[in-house]
């Protein structure tokens, strides 16, 4: 007899990057040894050959795809399973930029499908820590042409036409597919994104790797997917912050993200939601209680709450900051739009 599904935690994947630092250990207390530094901590991933492994309960050591095959819509929700099948649609990371990341761009779903890349890549960054004067780059500060992009990369003055944003803890940025961007030195962010590892590197600051070689640029691909329009508005997303409440941060066709910072216990009712829910702990710690039991959680961990789980209780010790993430499918979005138009 098949045992029931329960909230899942995962073993982390550590990625050493040429720009990575030591904040994942210093700020979050996560041990990534024997690596000397860590650029990315993958907290939840369903990418083939880069899947996170279940860490708790009788499903321990199973990869995410195997669990989805076993529990299908009980885990993902009916609409999500119908749309995504066994391909988990999201990827959650913590990124520590000890140096500037490359200036880059990601493709959208249409381009990815036409070119056999799986999903496109829309993403968001939530700033967990920022050094003094830390910054990021997002979008053009004027309308561009492909020819000017090429010339500026060759002449090493591309940065002059990028929007530069000073950042601090709690800042939120949405990075849609096609937007040129770069995370700057001194930033540590939580990233929520579509399940894709496709990045087109446009400019890399003249940097060389540990072998003295420049990293490959993807000029042709970048020019095919770049949005060349300038941005007049800040790329920062503003949201309300109230403790011990659910605060909506971002709602997109690809994911919804809410912010919860608990100092007292908080009950959550998911009986009307046909979706899995992810708790991405980005500060503090405590316990998550469901009918399946009580599971500890700390900063740097993600927990996947099955769609059949109708309620949770968040018990901070003494406080816990969570990004609450789920997907309302396009089918539901279309239904909502049709109702609003009546």
Give residues with Cβ within 8 angstroms of 44, minimum separation 6: 10, 52, 64, 88, 90, 91, 92, 278, 280, 302, 304
Provide the phi-psi class of 287: left if phi over 0, else alpha when psi is between -120 and 50, else beta. Answer: beta
- Find the catalytic residue in 17, 48, 152, 201: 201
Q: Please name which of 319, 300, 302 lies closest in space to residue 261, comparing C-alpha atoms.
A: 319
Known catalytic residue: 169? no
Rounded Cα distance between 240 and 251, Å, is 14
By CB atoms closer than 10 A (0-12, 13-18, 19+), residue 50 is: middle
d(CA 208, CA 215): 6
The answer to whether 252 and 282 are in contact (CB under 8 A) is: no
Compute the CA torsion angle 97, 305, 9, 280 (nearest 10 deg).
Answer: 20
Distance CA 169, CA 213 (A): 34
Stretch (H or E) spanning 143: none
Q: For residue 332, count CB atoms less than 10 angstroms from its CB and return exposed for 0-12, middle for 13-18, buried for 19 or more.
A: middle
Query: What is the DSSP-derived secondary structure letter of residue 158?
Result: G
Q: Write out the catalytic residue numbers.
A: 201
């Amino acid at each position: 007899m098949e045992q029931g599904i329960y909230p899942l935690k995962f073993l982390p994947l550590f990625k050493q990057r040429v720009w990575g630092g030591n904040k994942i250990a210093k700020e979050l207390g996560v041990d990534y040894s024997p690596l000397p530094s860590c650029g990315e901590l993958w907290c939840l991933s369903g990418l083939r050959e880069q899947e996170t492994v279940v860490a708790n309960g009788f499903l321990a050591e199973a990869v995410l795809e195997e669990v989805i095959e076993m529990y299908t819509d009980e885990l993902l929700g009916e609409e999500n399973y119908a749309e995504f099948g066994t391909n988990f649609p999201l990827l959650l990371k913590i990124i520590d930029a000890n140096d500037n990341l490359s200036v880059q761009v990601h493709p959208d779903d249409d381009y990815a499908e036409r070119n056999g890349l799986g999903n496109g890549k829309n993403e968001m960054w939530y700033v967990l820590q920022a050094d003094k004067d830390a910054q990021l780059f997002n979008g053009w500060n004027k309308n561009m042409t492909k020819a000017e992009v090429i010339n500026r990369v060759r002449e090493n003055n591309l940065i002059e036409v990028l929007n530069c944003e000073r950042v601090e803890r709690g800042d939120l940025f949405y990075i849609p597919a096609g937007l040129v961007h770069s995370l700057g030195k001194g930033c540590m962010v939580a990233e929520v994104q579509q399940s894709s590892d496709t990045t087109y590197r446009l400019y890399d600051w003249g940097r060389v790797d540990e072998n003295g070689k420049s990293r490959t640029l993807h000029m042709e691909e970048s020019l095919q997917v770049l949005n060349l329009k300038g941005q007049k508005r800040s790329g920062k997303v503003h949201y309300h912050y109230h403790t011990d409440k659910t605060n909506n941060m971002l709602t997109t066709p690809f994911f919804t993200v809410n912010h919860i910072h608990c100092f007292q216990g908080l009950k959550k009712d998911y009986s009307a939601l046909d979706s899995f829910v992810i708790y991405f702990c980005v500060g503090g710690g405590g316990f998550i209680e469901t009918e399946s039991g009580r599971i500890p959680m700390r900063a740097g961990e993600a927990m996947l709450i099955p769609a059949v789980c109708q309620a949770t209780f968040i018990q901070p010790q003494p406080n816990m900051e969570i990004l609450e993430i789920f997907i309302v499918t396009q089918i539901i979005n279309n239904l909502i739009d049709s109702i609003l138009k009546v």
